[in-house]
A and B are shown apart, each in its own frame.
Chain A
């Protein structure tokens, strides 16, 4: 498998706070990479740097290099908007647009950009919702508000919204932490299916989840990447003591 994303000596500062320290890692195409670690370890911060969400925070400073295929995404000539088209994101709390219907939420990426041919909409909505296994549950109420859905349905809607714009990479920031166990299971099954088409990086504090869904796991602690490797190996035979302490529940 080829490398989709490469982080090289990534450092992220918020003002005087050095949140992410010298992180280097490679993510293979069509794989699921889980980032685990105790809260405050910088895992979400790393994730958000991969589609330049830190651009919105004036105090944030990102140094080092992140390559997406052959593009240095922090290069001056690169438009962050173009990067975010290629690298989608699913957030911790489901965040559908409250003023839009279910139908319009799925095609929000097109609508907000003002680029959508009339005939295409329904097709995109149907295929996206089918791919997240939400179609049968909502096909009779596409015009209703997205806020009427349950939390788990909202999160799947948000995933549908993300894949509707055909990204190459999907970043997931604790996508199931606000959901009940059954919804969580559905999201995990979905991740398994999505990896056939997309490269997925998921941040989670739930180690079982990481073990279930990911091919590769990276363990972060205090802003540093301690260890990264095949998920099975990390969870059964980690090399570093800190990793072992964490996965066996001795701290964090």
Chain B
């Protein structure tokens, strides 16, 4: 091998290395810029009133997103009430009885379901709930969010349950504990932190979902205290205010974005912390 070719090879290696580093920088740069804007714009528009009052009409300064935050909390809560048990019990079925073709079909469906664009979930919730109930409602919004949560909770729970050693289940069964008690009190109990991690991630995911709420919960400029009426949600408000031509509303949107991002990161940090303390 000639010296020249070795130099060439080294040069190629160096430039490839530089390109990889450059690619990484270009990937992380938008992250930095976006965070800079969210933090800068978000903090300047958040004040105590932001958390306690509802949006003001365009042109009036001030106002907040209290109704959006409350609405999001309500709908996420209701979605969890449906999505978490369905996901967890479905996962228990797959681990306890899931050898057959039905289980394979269910796993496949969960994967397919999690790949469906969330706007389509919204359309289906619309035809299933909004049309028969003759109106947009928080109920329909929660239903759409639940549909998104189910496959996430199911697959993470199943993974966690599978990691519980067989020896623990056998120990319980050999003591004459019925399978259902063993499933709940030994298997699920042992996997609990992992399962909670999965739930937190699922909540973080749906907390930012906007598309499925567009024609289910619809959004609301005011407080609503009925589940059968349109309800405000934080991501919906961010969307509506961002595309509106009013400076004050833009400011609110940035504030909402900051709240949402802080919520997401709190949830995913909590999930990570839980996941770590287990090992």
Residues in A neighbouring B172, C-beta threshold 8 A: 97, 108, 112
> Chain B interface: which size bin?
20 to 34
The reply on B177 being an interface residue by CB < 8 A is: yes
Beyond A98-B190, A99-B190, whether A108 also contacts B173 by CB under 8 A is no
Contact B174 A84 (CB under 8 A): yes
Contact A112 B170 (CB under 8 A): no
The reply on A109 being an interface residue by CB < 8 A is: yes
Contact B175 A84 (CB under 8 A): yes
Contact residues of A between 71 and 119, Cβ < 8 Å to B: 81-82, 84-86, 88-89, 91, 93, 95-99, 108-109, 112-114
Contact A56 B171 (CB under 8 A): no
Q: Could you tell me the distance between the alpha carbons of A82 and B176 in the complex, rounded to whole angstroms?
A: 6
The reply on B9 being an interface residue by CB < 8 A is: no
Which of the candidate stretches B181-189, B205-213, B245-253 sits at the interface with the other chain? B181-189
Nearest chain A CB to B186 CB, angstrom units: 7
Contact A99 B175 (CB under 8 A): no
Contact B168 A109 (CB under 8 A): no
Nearest chain B CB to A198 CB, angstrom units: 14
Contact residues of A between 131 and 184, Cβ < 8 Å to B: 158, 161-162, 165, 167
The reply on A53 being an interface residue by CB < 8 A is: yes
Contact A91 B167 (CB under 8 A): yes
The reply on A51 being an interface residue by CB < 8 A is: yes
Residues in B neighbouring A108, C-beta threshold 8 A: 171-172, 175
**Which A residue's beta carbon lies closest to that of B181?**
A112
Q: Could you tell me the distance between the alpha carbons of A24 and B4 in the complex, rounded to whole angstroms?
A: 81
Partner of B170, one of A53, A58, A165: A53
Across the A-B interface, give the 3 residue pairs with the lowest CB-CB distance, nearest first. Answer: A85-B176, A89-B174, A109-B175
Contact A93 B167 (CB under 8 A): yes
Contact A161 B176 (CB under 8 A): no
Interchain Cβ contacts within 8 Å, total number: 74
Contact B167 A95 (CB under 8 A): yes
Residues in B neighbouring A95, C-beta threshold 8 A: 165, 167-168, 170-171
Residues in A neighbouring B182, C-beta threshold 8 A: 112
Contact A113 B176 (CB under 8 A): yes
Since A56-B169, A84-B177, A112-B182 are in contact, a sample of 7 more A-B pairs with Cβ atoms closer than 8 Å, ordered by chain A residue number, is: A81-B179, A88-B175, A98-B168, A109-B176, A112-B175, A162-B174, A165-B175
Nearest chain A CB to B8 CB, angstrom units: 58
Beyond A99-B190, A112-B185, whether A53 also contacts B177 by CB under 8 A is no
Residues in A neighbouring B167, C-beta threshold 8 A: 91, 93, 95
What's the dominant secondary structure at chain B's contact region?
helix
Partner of A88, one of B174, B179, B181, B189: B174
Contact A91 B170 (CB under 8 A): yes
Residues in B neighbouring A59, C-beta threshold 8 A: 99
**Which A residue's beta carbon lies closest to that of B100?**
A58
Residues in A neighbouring B165, C-beta threshold 8 A: 95
Residues in B neighbouring A158, C-beta threshold 8 A: 171
Contact B173 A84 (CB under 8 A): yes
Contact A53 B173 (CB under 8 A): yes
The reply on B59 being an interface residue by CB < 8 A is: no
Contact A81 B176 (CB under 8 A): yes
Residues in A neighbouring B171, C-beta threshold 8 A: 91, 95-97, 108, 158, 161
Residues in A neighbouring B176, C-beta threshold 8 A: 81-82, 84-86, 88, 109, 113, 165, 167
Residues in A neighbouring B190, C-beta threshold 8 A: 98-99
Most chain B CB within a 10 A radius of its CB, from A93, A109, A112, A158: A112
Q: Could you tell me the distance between the alpha carbons of A82 and B182 in the complex, rounded to whole angstroms?
A: 14
Task: Give B159-171 as 1s and 0s: 1 = Cβ < 8 Å from A's Cβ atoms.
Answer: 0000001011111
The reply on B178 being an interface residue by CB < 8 A is: yes
Beyond A99-B190, A112-B186, whether A81 also contacts B178 by CB under 8 A is yes
Contact A58 B181 (CB under 8 A): no
Nearest chain B CB to A151 CB, angstrom units: 14
Residues in B neighbouring A161, C-beta threshold 8 A: 171, 175
Residues in B neighbouring A99, C-beta threshold 8 A: 189-190
Contact A97 B174 (CB under 8 A): no
**Which B residue's beta carbon lies closest to that of A86?**
B176
Partner of B174, one of A51, A58, A82, A113: A51
Residues in A neighbouring B100, C-beta threshold 8 A: 58
Residues in A neighbouring B175, C-beta threshold 8 A: 84-85, 88, 108-109, 112, 161-162, 165
